[in-house]
Amino acid sequence: MSDAKTPEPIQFYFDFSSPYGYIAAHRIDGVARHHGRTVDWRPILLGPIFKLSGGAPLSTHPIRWHYSLRDFHRTCRLHNLPFALPEKFPFAATAASRAFYWIDHTDPSLAREFAKAIYDGAFAKGLEVWTADGVAAIAAAQGLDRQACLAAIEDPHWKDHLRAITDQAAAAGIFGSPFFIVDGEAFWGNDRIPEVDAWLARGGW
């Protein structure tokens, strides 16, 4: 019998429409693994959260948007990730997020692969991940049943589940994407991943 407690997973909140969420999705598992930690992936919808926190999509203001576009491309090149802005941006990630929780309910590992496929579809492959059909096609490519995925997207259970998780995230003070909770400590942004790494290494500072 050991006194060592199993450490809490890192909570990784993200919106599928978030370019920095896409980048973080390719980084956070590696950082966690390096410290013997796991990650709970939690898609949320920033739309209702922005209404509470006064946030706005990065594309709202032309001057900031000009910089953001350049920073997306530059940050992706730095991390050896392809980047192409989706035809529709920002997009409502409702269908993809509901499908995620439907998969996650039975197979969290597959749900993570699905999430990465949605992100890559959105920001690298030009796929229409904002439609139920686009989402179901990506699920099908993961070996899931296309019709069952479409049904889950329309199922009130998964609608309510996504809404509840988004509400809980807002209540916990989460206001952006990506957003990490590490042993109760909040970190906002892909650019805070080095700090997440240091926090895990040192147990805080």
The single residue among 52, 84, 141, 201 that binds its own copies, judged by CB under 8 A, is: 52
Half-sphere exposure of 183 (CA within 13 A, CB side): 15
For residue 189, give the nearest of 173, 175, 171, 170 by alpha carbon.
175
Report the Cα–Cα distance between both ends of the chain, in Å, rounded: 30
User: Could you tell me whether strands 185-188 and 179-182 are parallel, antiparallel, or unpaired per DSSP bridges?
Assistant: antiparallel
Residue 61 interacting with its own copies (CB under 8 A):
yes
The single residue among 64, 88, 105, 157 that binds its own copies, judged by CB under 8 A, is: 64
**Of residues 77-106, those binding its own copies (CB under 8 A):** 77-78
SS3 11: strand
Q: Which is nearer to its own copies, 108 or 204 (CB)?
A: 204
Cis peptide before 90 (omega within 30 of 0): yes
The single residue among 60, 87, 107, 108 that binds its own copies, judged by CB under 8 A, is: 60
* Binding residues vs its own copies (CB under 8 A): 52-56, 60-61, 63-64, 66-67, 70-71, 74-75, 77-78, 173, 175, 186, 188-189, 191-192, 194-195, 198, 205
